Every structure is written in C-alpha cells, then in structure tokens.
Amino acid sequence: MKDKQTKALGVAVVGAGYWGKNLIRNFRSHKQFELRYVIDRPSAVDFEPSNGEQFIFDLHTALEDKAVEVVAISTPPESHEEIALLAINAKKHVLIEKPLATSVEAGKRIVEAARTAGVVLMCDHTYCYSPAVQMIRDMVLANELGEILFIDSVRINLGLIQREADVIWDLAPHDLSILDYVLPDEMKAKTISATATDPLNLGTNCIGYLNIGLKTNVDAHIHVNWLSPTKVRKFVIGGSRKMLVWDDLDPNQRLTLIDKGVSITKDQLNGEERMKALVGYRSGGLESPALQEVESLKLVLDELASSIIQERTPRTDGESGLRVVELLELASRSVKAGGSPQQVV
C-alpha cells in the first residue's frame, strides 16, 4: 500500500439529476478533488456552473482530458455499464451510483475491466459510510450484541415511482449493501426469496418484501414500499445480549442500544424437556451512543480519494456491488417464481 501526497484529483460527474447534484456539491467542497466537468443532456438546465467547471454534453470530451482522473456516474442504472466501460478504458477511476449494474453479467464486465485496467472501481453505497452503520458494523464484529437472532429493515415512503426500475431495485440496494457491509463472511446470504406487487397497475412493482436466509440459519427481512403515507427508515438487529435500533430519520437518537430480550433455560435440558423450558424476559436500560454528524457522501469521497492515493481497494468495491446485484437479480427471479427461495452462489 502506498501513501503519497498528490494534487487535487480532477473529476467529471456524469448525470446532474437528483443524486448527481449531491455529488457535484460534495466534489466542489472536497479539498482532494477538483470538479472539472459535469456531463448531462442539454435539457438539464437547472445546473449552474460554479468554480470554473464546464457543463458539457459529450462524455468523450472529458475522457480525453488528461486532467480528469475520476469519473463519477449518477445516471439511470441501465446506462452504468456503457459509461463505466468507456471511463475504465480511458484509464479513469470510477465511482458508480447504486446499483452497480442491471444484471450480474454486466456487473462482472465492469469489475473485470477495472481489474484489468488497474483503476479503482468504487460503488457509492452511501449508507455504509454513515457513522451509524460504521458503529453497527463495529458492534457486530466485536460480538457486542451477542448471537444475532433476527434482522428487520423497513424503507418506505410515498414515491418516487419509476419506470426504469421497480421498488426492489430502487430501494433494496441500500439495505442489501448495509447487510453485506456489517455482517461477517460466516453470516452472508445463503438464500433469498421475495414477493412484490403492483396494486396501481402501473407496470412496475411498488411494494416488495425480501427474506434473506443467512448462513447462520437466521433470517433478515427487508420491506420496501413507494406507496406508504409515512416515510420510515428503520433497521433493527436482535441479539442475544442486546437489541439495536437505527432510526435514520431521528436526528436526536439515530442509534439506540436496548438491553432487552428473551432468555431460555438451556442447562441440562434436551428433547421434550427443552421444549418445556421457561421463557424469561430481560428488560434493561437504553443507551444512545453519540454519533458524529457528518454527511455520509463526504465520507464516501474521503474513501474514494484515499483508495486512489494509497492505491488500495475501497471498502465498497466492485465486488461488493456485484454481490448486491446478484441478490437483486435473485430477488427478481423469486418474484417471478411466486416467492420461491433462490440459492445464492
């Protein structure tokens, strides 16, 4: 691993839409990057050039500029492969919005191209860089919660209904990437099943339920919904020692550790005797750990710069993005098969 000082890295952002605007704002303020180009269609008239960057319509102009070292892709998922391969073939490092691609095969082509070219490929799994998720990961890996008994995630709101992707491909990548990041290898996904509905007959599923069977025979559940009248972003991990609740919409108490749970007398019990064991309920105190209030996307760019400068693999690399796409693809297959479980390779 190398660690060397370098001048600001030249950046081209492809896509100035909803997420692209956030990337533009963060690249502008980050001392290790210099935003040089924003590439979008001529109809993207709400973009205002600021610190000398150019608004252009042709990606090749930016790719031919040797001062551009990084291409950040924030376009519809179906365009990710084409843009990423063009950037990688031009020897540019790539940051790509979730999901990495719209199929496993497309994702593999992107990952292999980056590996062959020797450039950094990083997936913008933004939540994985939030202080809350980082603390969750540390607690899980340190076994502070004890044996994990269940995981439940709810990500629901009203809109934005999309044509190019259903609710599972739109919202579930966040939760799937979090699970991939916080869980150790021995707990990774073994099977996945999913159901989804289109109650408005719009031609795209607006409500989805995913069940991920983990290697430890524990289930993780994810509920995603575009039609909910209330916005909920809640992630719960039930452990044998402590329970954890992450409410991303509560700035005063995002993370709560709860000393509460169920215990069963197991000593010297087996067979029918164990079935008759008394269930005990533990009810202890609450703890709300202090978290750094910092925009997660700023931390994403910190990691991008660090991985390029140190010539190392980023925490959310192409392989992690590929694992998420695999689960999404299997979930879609399960939906078409009426919810039947699909084996994770």
- Predicted TM-score (pTM) of this structure: 0.92
Helix or strand run (H / E) with residue 22:
helix 18-29
Judge whether 229 lies within some domain: yes
Judge whether 31 lies within some domain: yes
User: Which domain CATH number covers 235?
Assistant: 3.30.360.10
Task: Looking at the structure, tell me whether residues 166 and 271 fall in a common domain.
Answer: yes
Beta bridge mates, 214: 189
DSSP 92-120: -EEEEESSS-SSHHHHHHHHHHHHHHT--
Task: Looking at the structure, tell me whether residues 268 and 173 fall in a common domain.
Answer: yes
Task: Looking at the structure, tell me whether residues 29 and 172 fall in a common domain.
Answer: no
Judge whether 36 lies within some domain: yes
Distance, CA of 210 to CA of 225 (rounded, Å): 12
User: Exposed, middle or buried, 61 (CB in 10 Å: 0-12/13-18/19+)?
Assistant: middle
Judge whether 199 lies within some domain: yes
Task: Looking at the structure, tell me whether residues 140 and 185 fall in a common domain.
Answer: yes
Residue 293: the pLDDT is: 87
Low-confidence residues in the chain, pLDDT < 70 = 1-6, 44-47, 263-282
Distance, CA of 220 to CA of 213 (rounded, Å): 7
Tokens of 181: 């990041």
User: Which domain CATH number covers 22?
Assistant: 3.40.50.720
Task: Looking at the structure, tell me whether residues 133 and 255 fall in a common domain.
Answer: yes
Residue 27: the pLDDT is: 97
Distance, CA of 179 to CA of 304 (rounded, Å): 21
Determine the 3-state secondary structure of 151 from DSSP. strand
Judge whether 3 lies within some domain: no
Spell 196-218 as b/e; 16+ CB within 10 A means b. Answer: beeeeeeebbbbbbbbbbbeeeb
**Tell me, what amino acid is at 98?**
K
Where do we find the tokens 């660090």?
306
Domain extent, residue 70, equals 9-126+296-316
Q: Report, in this order, helix, strand and coil percent for the chain, each rounded to 5.
A: 35, 30, 35
Distance, CA of 167 to CA of 221 (rounded, Å): 15
Residue 279: the pLDDT is: 58
* Residues 58-108 pLDDT 10s: 999 999 999 999 999 999 999 999 999 999 999 999 999 999 999 999 999
Tokens of 107: 């994702």
Task: Looking at the structure, tell me whether residues 119 and 185 fall in a common domain.
Answer: no
- Contact yes or no for 114/94 (Cβ under 8 A): yes
Judge whether 149 lies within some domain: yes
Task: Looking at the structure, tell me whether residues 113 and 248 fall in a common domain.
Answer: no
Could you give the number of structural domains in the chain? 2
Task: Looking at the structure, tell me whether residues 160 and 244 fall in a common domain.
Answer: yes
Judge whether 322 lies within some domain: no
Task: Looking at the structure, tell me whether residues 119 and 240 fall in a common domain.
Answer: no
Distance, CA of 244 to CA of 132 (rounded, Å): 11
Residue 274: the pLDDT is: 60
Distance, CA of 204 to CA of 159 (rounded, Å): 13
Task: Looking at the structure, tell me whether residues 151 and 270 fall in a common domain.
Answer: yes
**φ, ψ dihedrals at 167, nearest 5°:** -65, -30
Task: Looking at the structure, tell me whether residues 173 and 90 fall in a common domain.
Answer: no
* Residues 111-137 pLDDT 10s: 999 999 999 999 999 999 999 999 999
- Contact yes or no for 97/74 (Cβ under 8 A): yes
Judge whether 284 lies within some domain: yes
Task: Looking at the structure, tell me whether residues 135 and 109 fall in a common domain.
Answer: no
